[in-house]
Amino acid sequence: MQSETPSKETISFEDFKTEVLEDYKIAVTSRECSLLGRREVLTGKAKFGIFGDGKEIPQLAMAKVFKNGDFRSGYYRDQTFMMAIGALTIQQFFAGLYADTSIEEEPMSAGRQMGGHFATHSLNEDGSWKNLMLQKNSSADISPTAGQMPRLLGLAQASKIYRNVEGIDAEMFSNNGDEIAWGTIGNASTSEGHFWETINAAGVLQVPMVMSVWDDEYGISVHAKYQTTKENISEILKGFQRDENNKAYEIIIVNGWDYVALVEAYEKASKIARTTHSPVLIHVKELTQPQGHSTSGSHERYKDEDRLSWERAYDCNVKFKEWIIENNFSTEEELDAIDKTIKKQVRDGKKAAWTAYSQPMKDKLKELLPLLKAAATDSSDEATIENLTKELSEIKDPLKKDLLVAARKSLRYLIGIDSDAKTKLANWITDYTNQSQPEYSSHLYSESENIAQNVDEIAAVYSEDSKDVDARIILRDNFDKIFETRPETLIFGEDSGEIGDVNQGLEGLQEKYGKLRVADVGIREATILGQGIGMAMRGLRPIAEIQYLDYVLYALQIMSDDLATLQYRTKGKQKAPLIIRTRGHRLEGIWHSGSPMGALVHLLRGIHILVPRNMTKAAGFYNALLKADEPALIVECLNGYRLKEKLPENPGEYTTPIGVVETIRTGTDITLVSYGSTLRLVEEAAQELEQVGISAEIIDVQSLLPFDLNQDIVKSVAKTNRLLVIDEDVPGGASAYILQKIVEDQNAYIHLDSKPQTLTAKAHRPAYGTDGDYFSKPSTEDIFEKIYEIMNEARPQDFPQLR
């Protein structure tokens, strides 16, 4: 039996009854969507389905205390919650299942994500912020299990910053930090490291996070006994329970079929988190999964009859209906009538979604068929085109792919024919492709006016009195100016606070700006990134510091699956302009001198990757990015902090252009392309080459993503007719990417008189010590000899063999 009905001192019985019945309607609507959605997959109209059936009632309870300004970072089964907060309609649910590419029809992702992945719109059409305090917010879901957890931490921390840091314009983002970040996760996914890292970090930071664990005892087919010690996540988290002497978690345990207890649990959690900023974990037990994990298989394969029988009896919707009848809120007949009405509404919504999705293709089919018929009469293989046309016309619900396959194949049978019909068919293919491709490929990066490439270059200002200082001082003074003039900025990382980072680039800034804005954190790279993502999604401008480039690998999944895809998977409706600061390139040992730039370039499309050669350039990148609305990774040169640079007189103002290369030495015989610390060796080699009559032009890439937007490198190659890319990444890493951009994208091959080549590090990690560096990565001698070898092949009379 469920808990007794709570006393309602501020609401009449009739009003409470109305509220209960509205909840019932939402629960039934959500369940019917799940049931019909599965059938749509099994009949082939949708590709895959993963639904929220069995979790309806706890999600209704969560929705009751979810307020404007709050944020959800959730699990891909939260459809009932989204319906309850008014952010998901029946038709939108099915539009997501069909992958409708219209953002109006399918506002969650415009068909870019599978169904069950939800989001709200944080941005206006021009990319500017909406007032997030006037709406209930959901950060865009991702499929990787527990991947939503690090971002959840940052969404919660934003409230702490807004409550405790003065001077921030928070009107559209916070009301004194009263907002809660609500997380949801399946019980099996609590086995993931991201869950544990986030739980620990939230307890340390004391942020308003409410974490719901939907526990149905299984992870696909794997029972909880194989997932969780003691088969009980709240039991093993008891050590996190707060008490009068220790700030930690409030842990609440509640059955997922008990409507009243769930409402009370979420009201309690909301009050604690909203007022005290203590995190709360709600373990929602005894849930079911009526249709199994997904449309990929049946749960009857791994659940015995006893379990299936229990699930039928304790289905949360079944128990809710029983409770409503027992407490005289309605009769079984009235509820059955509601069920029948909702079934029709869901069918009608599904039909409307399918019509909206399929009709544009049918309209295009009507355009294409006469073009194909006309083309067939001009072809020497008329029968083949007619057969393609017939097959296409017989497809009941054609896809865009079906139309283009038929049209493009037909064009092959018109090779060598010059006719009006061929021209019209070719134009139709081009127009339809150009119309369709952006529906799948737009918004990898911001498409607003505030893109990083639009930030104008502002030169560093020097005078006769400008001092030569350790380069770290340039960074420190620039950060100082940033924090002084931009109260919404903050930086955090391992050793970033009290000692001012391991290389003293933040020296003294924590004392000046406080422990919230210049903060030390634990050794937990994934949630450092998550803090940054979540806070950036709520209007702050965080800089997340990863101590060394090698350690970025700990956070790579979050960077790749969450941050890099955010603009893309919401079709420009959410953004997180996070700056990631790290340091790397040449130092000592396998774990402190890696340069996995090729891996990062390939995994982080959607994030700018900037590789400044010195700290003045790095500072300029920070200044430029703070004027833009896109995420970026800045890799400072680890061996450059103690080198001398002139101190600019306009810190916080000068900018380094993004996506622009810089020629740092002119030459006529060969173009050398590199970046970061390796450039110093390239410059040394160029000076030595000059002594033997070789004139080398050196270009600093500066920015790997985006790459040479003005296509300046090919202009150099056109002059020198030779190209060498020097890189300390592994063979085929960033050097291969750079070569592809220059030779293929910029068509530099037409200017080459010698084979374009790369000079890279060895395939292994760098060995320890000075000699380890010398034999692992390109040296000045390696660079000199490689270039001399190229010139020997080109002009042997001028450059005899070296050895």
Residues labelled as active-site residues:
592
Please name the residues in contact with 63: beta carbons below 8 A apart, sequence gap of 6 or more. Answer: 80, 81, 84, 85
* Token couple for 142: 């991702």
Distances (CA, A) of 111 to 29, 92, 318, 560: 22, 11, 33, 20
3 state DSSP class of 350: helix
Whether 203 and 240 have beta carbons less than 8 Å apart is answered as yes
**Contact criterion met (CB below 8 Å) for 290 and 314:** no
DSSP bridge pairs for 791: none
Place of tokens 């307890």: 203
| Sequence-ordered list of residues with C-beta below 8 angstroms from that of 687, at least 6 positions apart, any chain | none
CA separation for the pair 50, 668 (Å, rounded): 61
Return the axis-axis angle of helices 56-64 and 13-42, rounded to nearest 10°.
Answer: 130
**Whole-number Å distance between alpha carbons of 248 and 241:** 6
- Rounded to 10 deg, the angle between the 90-98 and 13-42 helix axes is 20
The SS3 of residue 154 is: helix
Q: Where are the beta strands (DSSP E) in 618-735?
A: 632-637, 644-646, 662-665, 670-674, 696-700, 703-705, 723-726
DSSP secondary structure of 425-469: HHHHHHHHHHHHTHHHHTTSS--STT-GGGSPPBPPP--TTPPEE
Tokens 């430029």 belong to residue: 624
Q: Which helix (H) or strand (E) holds 718?
A: helix 713-720
Task: Please name which of 777, 773, 799 lies closest in space to residue 787, comparing C-alpha atoms.
Answer: 799
Per the CB < 8 A criterion, the answer to whether 668 and 697 are in contact is: yes
For residue 706, say if its preceding peptide bond is cis, omega within 30 degrees of 0: yes
Residue 87: strand pairing partners = none
CA pseudo-torsion sign 707, 564, 83, 133? negative
Pairing label, strands 632-637, 608-610: parallel
Rounded Cα distance, 739 and 642, in Å: 32
Q: For residues 120 and 626, what is the distance between their CA atoms, to the nearest angstrom?
A: 25
Residues 393, 369 contacting (CB under 8 angstroms)? yes
Nearest CA to 676 among 617, 717, 731?
A: 617
Provide the strand spans (E) within 456-517: 468-470, 489-493
First-to-last alpha carbon distance for the chain, in angstroms, is 90
User: DSSP strand E in 112-173: where?
Assistant: 137-138
Residues 697 and 683: their CA atoms lie apart, in Å, by 10
DSSP state of 744: I
The backbone torsions φ and ψ at residue 172, rounded to the nearest 5 degrees and listed phi first, read -95, 0
Q: CA 100 to CA 584: how far, in whole Å?
A: 43
Answer for the pair 359, 368: CB distance below 8 angstroms, yes or no.
Answer: no
